[in-house]
Structure 1
């Protein structure tokens, strides 16, 4: 008798303990679901009622209804499974909330890194060695960075003979000819330098002896629509090639406008090749060549807002939001989702890629890891269409990532995927707007129709304002620019882009 009483008392204590665990984990899950704010009201109500009922039933079973050891043990095991599921679910909701907070929390400032560079063969090994030597700077580009470097060197007691140049190529020629011992470059312009055939080995035959950074105001702001679930809008997708971190300005190597009409369920993706020769519409100073002709990729050096304004001017449209993608960090995301699949069309097999000479793709479906996906998205020399095909490859990589992220397999590696995405994207779309879109998708389940278009042009070698020298560009075919504008306006008006000839 005493033994039965003792067993009942122990069972009741365990019942209370596991009831508290069940209740606490359920509250944790519901708190994170409500905080994330992505479930439609009806669905949120049903989920809440379901968990409350489950908790009520199992608390009754754990504390009052079950008497035998076996039945009590079964209830404990089931409640532990529910508790574990609630913990995992709450954790995933929390990670998702953290991601949305990260990508919508657009930094107030962007970082620019500036370096003092000497030849690899130079005797100048450290900052102190620069004293008494000559240094080349640009007269009209990156003036803020150059002044900061000179000021910091002067404050350290290092006096140098400064020589100013009118263009990047003029400064490089003087540097390699020995006219100056060192030069000041913005790290965001390093890719510009290595893109010039004469200086493609710049990274290997030079080294940095001093480096500093400064912040510039990020003026990229949303031009928000009244209701993102019913009003059509344009999003600029800008893929940056930054090397010094996601918060650093860099060339816009991927430029796409996503036109979204929630009412018709249509998304039009309009791509602009990086070498497109356009009139720059500047957002800020520091050497941005307002009204000058240049490759559109160079606009990213002066911030996403300069790229946005230039695209708006080119296509004659209004862009509501920007979506910045750090393309180098996409490698982490592709690896986190377990790689992506791309379908290589007949005639487009490649035996070797510039970034990975041993990497190749065959006709048909190819599975790519992160490093391979980046090489595939950046390759242009292996194709006769050059930048045109690279733009198509970039679309494939982005769509491959979307396919993986929206597949059930995401659950197995959810946490690492969230961590990767947090360092890969940023947007001027608000947290509430993204939540509204997710709720709209869950509630209405629209069948999105994807449409694509790319403006085109003719290759030429023309003066580029940022370089101060001639370089390969794509001169716009104005007919394709007009067609792009018409297709965008058609989708905004509730029609299909395919109706535009």
Structure 2
């Protein structure tokens, strides 16, 4: 069937109107998202919005009028399709930003998981067990007791410490023990014989209403951020020990950041807890706020914000932003002393190793600081602006923070405003290895690091300098 010239003209006009409608339909949600995400600096919006409106107006007018010049109609259809593609990309970008800001917020309701254990060599079942022990000092003890009653009818009794409870289970004074699941890692590391001798019969969760809301802070002024991390795979939101404990002292106006590493075995007084000190890593068992406030007490500074990192997932960022360069203090494995260019696999190896160094965990902390510095520097490069969707997607699964969405958006907006690089400085506090009793394990002596007062005071002084506007 032969198509007439009039029919071809009519079809072409219809396609032009279709493209024009596509521009309008996609521009509206894209524009709403562009303004709503709140991360684009105003100076760019004041240029982009009127320029886009002017171009769109010309293109729409050309698409809607009947032009005898076919080439002109084709040209503006191509421009129109490019504009539709840009509109869709802007909409997706806005959606990515909103998804990221929502995903990294802590849940509105927080739950702590408990594990019910029994000795493997005893035939104990939940329904017929006669006795179950708990740690009496647990801040959620009463709530846990109510929840435990729904798991087993066994009579409940409380003991002073985790160690006291494990001994009661060993001797048969109780048939079951109910402890925080996070404490299973403590037992695995420090009391392996006991850990291997027990079996998990059940788990249950208890609602924790003690989470503290982040204060409203002006992030254009210097502030302190607690970085807490695990270096193994797992849910970043789980209550657990923290293997990485850093303070980031951030001065946004000067684009400077001080990273202060505190060893996981540091022997510190837990915030609000009298009596025997504990390892810093054990503070995480009692929640992220306990770790944050304990470090605040140690350094005499207010720490309003925290970020929980899954370090193993975070290094995937290297796949997105490109290989990073770190300066290694020592030659070990495949790394040379001095400059090393690392992909994500080697970044993880570099960040996790501690057995190759005489000062073990302290050097691992310094290496992790180097990795964070390198990733921050790489992300600050203007060329990575085109990769921000992938960057946000990677970060989304790697961190959780109590910073509000508005606060995070303000920081992103500030960075996009001028793309200034950040100057990052690192330091670590020191100490001396010793064996001491701890709050979490009671009378059982554990390896700890006694803080070196001079290094702590130096850190306090550095923190104070960075907090000056």
TM-score grouping bracket, smaller chain normalisation: 0.7 to 0.9
Paired residue for 2:290? Answer: 306
2:332–2:356 contact (8 Å) kept in structure 1: no
Query: Tell me, what secondary structure is at the counterpart of 1:429?
Result: coil
Paired residue for 1:286? Answer: none
Q: Residue deviations 1:323-353, cap 9 Å, x none?
A: 222445536x447637754636253413xxx
1:301-380 correspondence runs (5 A):
301-327=285-311, 329-330=313-314, 333-334=316-317, 337=320, 341=324, 343=326, 345=328, 347-350=330-333, 364-365=339-340, 367-369=342-344, 373=347, 376-380=350-354
Q: Say which of 134, 137, 140 aligns to 2:137.
A: 140
What is the rounded CA distance, in whole Å, between the counterparts of 1:338 and 1:133 in structure 2?
57
What is the rounded CA distance, in whole Å, between the counterparts of 2:44 and 2:322 in structure 1?
33
Summarize the Cα distance change of 1:51–1:200 in structure 2 as closer, same or farther, 3 Å threshold. farther
What is the rounded CA distance, in whole Å, between the counterparts of 1:102 and 1:82 in structure 2?
30
Q: Say which of 477, 482, 491 aligns to 2:457.
A: 482
1:218–1:303 contact (8 Å) kept in structure 2: no
1:342–1:396 contact (8 Å) kept in structure 2: no
Q: Say which of 190, 207, 211 aligns to 2:203.
A: 211
Paired residue for 2:12? Answer: 11
Query: Tell me, what secondary structure is at the counterpart of 1:462?
Result: strand
Q: Residue deviations 1:411-437, cap 9 Å, x none?
A: 786555434422332323322222223
Summarize the Cα distance change of 1:59–1:343 in structure 2 as closer, same or farther, 3 Å threshold. same
1:451-462 correspondence runs (5 A):
451-462=425-436
What is the rounded CA distance, in whole Å, between the counterparts of 1:336 and 1:190 in structure 2?
33
Q: Residue deviations 1:386-435, cap 9 Å, x none?
A: 12112112223333443454456757865554344223323233222222
Unaligned runs of 5+ in 1: 283-288, 351-359, 495-501
Paired residue for 2:164? Answer: 170
Query: Tell me, what secondary structure is at the counterpart of 2:306?
Result: strand
Matched, 1:53 2:54: yes
Deviation at 1:450, TM superposition (A): 1.4
Query: Tell me, what secondary structure is at the counterpart of 1:252?
Result: coil
Deviates more, 1:320-329 or 1:20-29: 320-329
1:398-477 correspondence runs (5 A):
398-403=372-377, 405-406=379-380, 415=389, 417-468=391-442, 469-477=444-452
Paired residue for 2:149? Answer: 151
Q: How many residues get paired?
A: 464
1:338–1:369 contact (8 Å) kept in structure 2: no
Query: Tell me, what secondary structure is at the counterpart of 2:457?
Result: helix
RMSD: 3.1
What is the rounded CA distance, in whole Å, between the counterparts of 1:454 and 1:14 in structure 2?
65
1:258-269 correspondence runs (5 A):
258-269=248-259
Query: Tell me, what secondary structure is at the counterpart of 1:19?
Result: helix
2:226–2:248 contact (8 Å) kept in structure 1: yes
Q: Residue deviations 1:181-216, cap 9 Å, x none?
A: 4322211112211221x41783x6543211100110
Paired residue for 2:266? Answer: 276
Query: Tell me, what secondary structure is at the counterpart of 1:337?
Result: helix
What is the rounded CA distance, in whole Å, between the counterparts of 1:210 and 1:75 in structure 2?
66
Paired residue for 2:84? Answer: 83
What is the rounded CA distance, in whole Å, between the counterparts of 1:274 and 1:447 in structure 2?
30
Q: Residue deviations 1:340-375, cap 9 Å, x none?
A: 54636253413xxxxxxxxx65555253546x6556
What is the rounded CA distance, in whole Å, between the counterparts of 1:444 and 1:20 in structure 2?
36
Deviation at 1:87, TM superposition (A): 0.7
- When normalised by structure 1's length, the TM-score is 0.82
Query: Tell me, what secondary structure is at the counterpart of 1:223?
Result: coil
What is the rounded CA distance, in whole Å, between the counterparts of 1:444 and 1:366 in structure 2?
27
Deviation at 1:70, TM superposition (A): 4.5
Matched, 1:254 2:244: yes
- When normalised by structure 2's length, the TM-score is 0.87
Deviation at 1:303, TM superposition (A): 1.8
What is the rounded CA distance, in whole Å, between the counterparts of 1:176 and 1:362 in structure 2?
49
Deviation at 1:259, TM superposition (A): 1.5
1:455–1:480 contact (8 Å) kept in structure 2: yes
Summarize the Cα distance change of 1:485–1:200 in structure 2 as closer, same or farther, 3 Å threshold. farther
Deviation at 1:114, TM superposition (A): 0.6
